[in-house]
Every structure is written in structure tokens, then in C-alpha cells.
Structure 1
Amino acid sequence: MSTELQVVAARLHRVRMPLVHAFQTSSHRKAYLDHILVALEDASGAVGWGEIASPSDPYYASETVETCWHIASRYLLPAIIGRRWTHPSQLQADKIRGNQFAKSGLDVAAWVLWAEAQQLPLATVLGGQRTEVVAGVSLGIEPTIDDLLAQVQQQVESGYPRVKLKIAQDWDVEPVRAVRAAYPKLDLHVDANGIYTAGELDRLVELDGFGLTMIEQPFAPRDLLAHAELQRRIGTPVCLDESVETVADLETALGLGALRVLNIKVSRMGGLTAARAAHDRAQDAGIPVWCGGMHEFGVGRLANVALSSLAGFTLPSDVSASEKYYARDIVEPAVTAVGGVVQVPDGPGLGHQVDREFVVANTVEELRLGPGQE
């Protein structure tokens, strides 16, 4: 498409939403989330929505809601308002180092606006081929193994074919053993969010006998050598998440033999532009990929669904139904999963409408940029 677009105004909404079930990882526990919604408006009045799904605290990544708000409002949005463009990739903020989460919200909003301008689904303009996506769920660390088993049972009964368990040093072998004993054929994998050290490699080797689909991000993001050593010692595929923020990171990991699966997160990689490039490179290298999530609201969730329609996403992705995390979502209709499968929207843009009144009702901070605004 060669139609020229121009963002004339933009809004940021810091939206707070309670989780239906508190979620604990190896680093922290959360009962609600603050995410930043980005709305880009072009001269025709069309609006493209994106979501900055950064954590509130610097445990998963160095970015937080506050840092993203600062970078988006001071640097990213002013750089694109009034600028003319014909493809979302032209709005990449290459001069700004890092800040992938902040960049992601604007990149997704630009892709959605571009799709809206063509009256095409987001999945179509990305090059997606699937009409439905197999979903998986991610379960946090629970107070007891019985509590965990109850959560697994609930998700299996809901039809989800894959369950991911968060693990840590005091919550790894025994919970996995219990879940595998109860569900011997379940597609099961674990995620450590980088909490282990190279000196604890032998403990992770113990997990190799449970028939896991993958062990995700056992070591710190930059410790690719430890990931490579673990992969040499086990048959279970090692999956990288936090280690890969750019395609260059992926090239390094491939060169070291540090992974056999890649988790592609739109937020972690700075948006759909970079996520699609990582998908293409992984596909060339024969590395299966899946789309990870950050407990996104409906906007980010639908962007993940669209990305997961690409050919290389052969493993279940974190695109479960809205109701898994939120009593009410910000999009209408909410994202649903039937038998663990999410339909790829076929309407223009996101394919769902953003409930603006509900967004405003749950906004705790707002910024408007454009003519007459500061």
C-alpha cells in the first residue's frame, strides 16, 4: 500500500485492571496491572490502538510503567506527530536505545492504523496464514501443590492443550512431578524467568525426565553460555525469552547453540515490526516459535493473536481468553477461546472495538498530544 498517512494527534491512557486470580512468578506477585494504551489518530479521524504492556516493577525487564510513560510522552510520540509515512516500519525509533516496551505500544498502534486505512485485518497485513490459533495458559507459583493441581485441572477442563508452570528454586521438581503424574500426556513446560544461576545447572537437569515441551529462560538474560551448556546436557529444548530483545540477540543465541525454541513477545522485542523479523529469522534457522504474553489487555492480546497467525508459530501461544485474566476486557467482544483455540479476527484492524468509555473509566492517568494540546 502506498497511501500516505499522518498521525495528527495521540493519547496515552494509563489503565488499571484487577486480575481475576493473583499471579506469582519467581520474583513477585501481582493482583492488578497497569498498562498504557496508545491511541494514534490520523487526519481522517481513524484511530490505531496499541498497548504498552510493561510490568510495574523492574523484575522481568528494566522498563516499568513510569519509564515507558516518560519515553513515550517525551521522545516517541513527539517524533511521529505530523510525520508522513506509508508503512509502520518507517516510524521505528532507531536512535533511541532499548526501551522496547515503550516502542512496542507505538509500533502496534501504527500497524493497526495502517490496517484500518486499508480496511484489512491486522493478521493479513502482517502476512498471517492461519484463521485460528492454538492457545496455552501460564500458571503462577501457588501456595501449595494442591492449589496448583486445582488450577491445572481448571485450565485442562477449559480445553487448553498446553500449560506453562512458573518455577523457582523452591518450586520446581516437586510441582512438576505432581502435575506430570496427574496429567501424563499434557503439553507441559516450565518458565524460570531467569532466576537460576549456572551453579544450579544440575537441578535443572533433574527436570529433563518429565517429558517437558521446553524449559524456558532458566538463566539470566545475558547468560547465554549457561543456556548453551544446559542445552548440551539435556534433551528437553531450551527456550529463550528475556535473552532475545533484538534479532541480533537471536543471531548470537543461534551461534552459541543456546536455544531450540524461541518465545517471541511483541512487547519485549519493541513491536510487531521486530517480532515479525524474529519470526522470519527463526523460521530460516528451523527454530519453532510461539507468542508469549504479558497478561495483555484486549488490544495487546489481539496483536498477539494476529502475530501468531504467521506460519512459523507452530507451538501453542499465550493468547488465551480475556476471562482467564480479567472479569471484563477493554475490547468488545472480549477475546474468547473454544477448546483452547482462538479465532483470528477477520475485521479491519484489531477486528474488535475498543470500549472507550470503559477505558476512560479505568484510566488513572492520561496525556493528549496534538494541536492545542501540551
Structure 2
Amino acid sequence: MDRNRFYEVKSVIELLLSASRTKEYKIAERKQNFIHKKCYSLKNLNAQCSQPPTNQFLILLFSPNLHSLRKIVKESEKVVKQNRLLLKTFIRAVWWLALQGCAFRGHDESYSSHNRGNFLELVNFQAELCKEIGDIVLSKAAKNAKYIAPSIQQEILKIIADLVRSKIRDEIEDAKFCILVDEATDESHKTQMALVLRYVDVDGVVRERFMEVVVVDDTNSITLKTQICNILSHHKLLVENMRGQGYDGASNMRGEWNGLQALFLRDCPYAYYVYCFAHRLQLALVAAAKEVSDVWLFFSKLTSIVNFVTISSKRHCQLQSIREDEIVDLIVGLIKFVLYNVLDLLVGVHITPLLAELLNCFIQFVHFLKIL
């Protein structure tokens, strides 16, 4: 008896016993029932695989049923491989669209549409590049396992986002951190709060990581604090490790008694509040411009000019063309001035033609760029 043959049969039977009772293994169940009718169930056979081979086992070993069992295993492995390739294709599409900040859905995602949206078009593009992918996605996929529904896309995107947040959490470890918070209203008129964490990693590099954006019912300080604490506790970040807060100058944020910074200071006295410098600079410029009439007039006229030019593509092209001509003339004039003054100071006539030729080549190059 060939023992390699014996253990090969044993591994096949163990694989069938451990397989889930899905659609692909119904044939295996029929084979099991067939063997059971001959008073030789798979369980008993598996138990005897630990014993030396018997005559009954040798009969089954060389029976034609073994070929069927092998074929079932190979088919199941093929299905698993195809399913993994299918899932990898969709994950690549979701990851790329999320990285580039592109929309997923299309206006018309039907089969007759010429543009079915970024996600489906990207999957189709991968199918055109790889025949193995083209044989298992979209129209050639199983009707009950296409995996192109928006809910599937959102689920994959959520898994990727959770992995990114987990990576950020691993970077922070038990270090101290600061929070940067701001709220805004999006196009759907929902108020959203963005949370950014600032910390120093193990290499001593200051990092600022966007952590999460959540929809809030209102923007009062208690609501914002509750949402922030929920996010921090979800990622097992202690408020006691907070060492800084950065907000704008709104009363709900910087309020001395009931503002968001005051509420966190009660829990952690080391979480010092820092007024956003960009917001302070903007307010300072606006206040300074209002006090000086010439500056206020300049910015008001500048806004009108920008709106007048940008509202028309024809005016924008004309202005851009005029500006390009001015830049080229300035560069050519500057180069001529520098080179001709250098020529007057040079000793040796043989250098002058070389520099003149260099100047001529540069002028031609500038005109070539102008044409482009």
C-alpha cells in the first residue's frame, strides 16, 4: 500500500468534512450518502484513516468515487479563487476613488448607459485589462453575487476607513495629543463636525491626522463635546492625555464659562486652548481694511474685476493671453539687459558671438513657449 496515496485520500476526506454545506458541496453530500448506503460513512472512514489501511479501505481507495471527490475539491478551490479576485477588484476600485476624492455613483447606471458612473466604469476598465477579471465581473458575474450595490461600496469604504483610523491609533499609542475641531454646513444643509488629531509620533515627527467627520444636530458646546468624547472613547483615547485645543473664535467654542474649551478644561486642566491663527489673521485683515478707505476700495474693486473676468470664458482667455505676452516681454528684456551689459565688460572678441548666439537661441525658445 502506497502511504502517500493513503494520506492524500485522508486529506481529501477531511477537507470535505470541514467544508460548509453550501451549494457547491451538494455533490459531496450525495457522494457521502452513496458511501453511507454501502455501510461505509465518511465519518467512519475518517476515523479509520488514523489506523493502518484495511481491505475495505483499499477497495474504496481505488474506486472511481475518489476521482469525483478530487474534482469537487478542485472546483471549490476554483470558485474560492474567483471570489477572492472579484473582491480584490472591487476593493481596488473603491480604494482608488476614495484616494482621488471622486464620486462613486453615476446619474444612469443601467446597462444601456454610456457612462455608468466612476465605480462601474473603473471596474469595467480593469476587466478590459485583465481577461480573468473580465470573466467574473459585472454582466458575467453570478446574478446573486455581483457585489456592485451602493451598500457594498459603502461597506468596503467603511472597512478601509476603519483600517486607516486603526493605523493612526497605533501611531499615537499612549502619547499626548491635541484636537483641532471645526464645524460647517454642507450642500445638503447638514451641520458636520470635523476632528483632527495633532501628536508627535515615535520618530519625533509632528503629525496632523484627519480622524473623523460626524453629523451633529446643533453646534452648542455640550453637543460638540459629547460627539468628540464618543470618538475618542471609541478609539480608546483618554481625555486626560489631551494637551491642546484648537478652534475658531465663535462663542460656542471659545466661551470662557460654557464654551467647548472651558468644558474640556474642567476634565483636563492641561488641555490649553489656542485660538486658530488663520482665523485671527483673517479677522485682523478685515478690520484693517475697513479702517483704511484706500485698502477697502482696492479690495472691493478687485472683487468686482475678478467676478467680471471669471464669469466669461472669453474674457478669461483674453486676459490670460495678454498676461502671457507681458511675461515674455519682461523676460526677454531682462535677459537682453543682463547679457549686453556683460558683453561690454568682457575681454576677448571671440566670446561675443557665442553669447549673442546664446541670446538668439533663448529668444526663440521663449517665443516657442509662447506659441505653446
TM-score bracket for the superposition, by shorter chain length: under 0.3
* TM, length-normalised to structure 1: 0.20
Relative to the length of structure 2, the TM-score reads: 0.20
Higher strand share: 1
Larger Rg: 2
Bigger RCO of structures 1 and 2 (CA < 8 A, at least 6 apart): 1
